[in-house]
Amino acid sequence: MKKEQTTKSIRAFERNVQGQVREFFLKSNSSPLRLIDDKGTEWDFTGTALNGKLMDKQLTRIAVLKDYWFDWKTYNPKTRVYTLGER
């Protein structure tokens, strides 16, 4: 049984899946949170594919730093904010 994550947790993954760069979107009205890629594969919070040809495939995790925006922006003033789209 998988334990669902809180909204305070963050994860980052490589976008390259079997040699193809994928774009990920927030799946509308998903609870728990799910992402869907531009090929229609659905992914959970752990980076595991939930359907299709990639079912049970695991995305490669990337190390991330959880920081406060004001702190980051002070030391990295040229940073641009990316907003996750919905599909």
The residue type found at 6 is T
Question: Interior CA angle at 2 toward 27 and 25, to 5°?
Answer: 15
Banded model confidence at residue 3, pLDDT cuts 50, 70, 90: very low
Banded model confidence at residue 1, pLDDT cuts 50, 70, 90: very low
In the predicted model, what is the mean pLDDT of the chain? 86
Residue 54: CB partners within 8 Å, gap ≥ 6? 17, 18, 41
Banded model confidence at residue 65, pLDDT cuts 50, 70, 90: confident
Residue that wins the pLDDT comparison between 30 and 55: 55
Question: pLDDT tens-digit profile of 4-43?
Answer: 545 677 889 999 999 999 999 988 888 888 999 999 999 9
